């Protein structure tokens, strides 16, 4: 099993920045992709960014491309999401997620397949 814990959310003004962190624990040896998603009430969960754990290759949704950066520290099993130039429409609960070889049925996004492990979420609020 894999456990994910997010941190770093908060309230910022338009144009501000935040860095989210996701600490992974448990059996992470078969996790090949990490990702960030976000969700607001009444809307489907939206993929934001993904990163391959072995290659560092990243992928972004069009809505955040050029503003957000995903990165990782494999030695510490931590994934980050640097968010710059925040807009009101970025307001959401942000979730860290992970894929796992042989486990299916979760949300698919980017080129990573099925995300099946999820953190508890961290709230990001951007005020205009």
Model confidence over 41-87: pLDDT tens digits? 999 999 999 999 999 999 999 999 999 999 999 888 999 999 999 99
Q: How high is the pLDDT of residue 27?
A: 83
Percent of the chain at pLDDT exceeding 70: 100
pLDDT grade for 28, boundaries at 50, 70 and 90: confident
Mean per-residue pLDDT over the chain, rounded? 95
pLDDT grade for 1, boundaries at 50, 70 and 90: confident
Answer yes or no: are the C-beta atoms of 18 and 12 closer than 8 Å: yes
Q: Which of 119, 126, 125 is nearest to 35 (CA)?
A: 119
Q: What is the mean pLDDT of residues 25-47?
A: 93
Answer yes or no: are the C-beta atoms of 109 and 95 closer than 8 Å: no
State residue 43 phi and psi, 5-degree precision. Answer: -120, 155
Q: Which of 33, 83, 28, 88 is nearest to 59 (CA)?
A: 33
């Amino acid at each position: 099993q894999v456990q994910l814990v997010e941190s770093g959310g908060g309230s910022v003004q338009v144009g501000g920045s935040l860095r989210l962190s996701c600490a992974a624990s448990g059996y992470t040896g078969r996790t090949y992709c990490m990702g960030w998603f976000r969700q607001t009430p009444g809307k489907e969960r939206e993929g934001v960014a993904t990163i391959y754990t072995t290659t560092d290759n990243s992928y972004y949704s069009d809505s955040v491309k050029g503003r957000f950066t995903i990165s990782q520290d494999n030695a510490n099993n931590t994934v980050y999401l640097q968010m710059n130039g925040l807009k009101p429409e970025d307001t959401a609960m942000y979730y860290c997620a992970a894929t796992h070889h042989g486990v299916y049925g979760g949300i698919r996004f980017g080129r990573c397949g099925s995300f099946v492990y999820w953190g508890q979420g961290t709230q990001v609020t951007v005020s205009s």
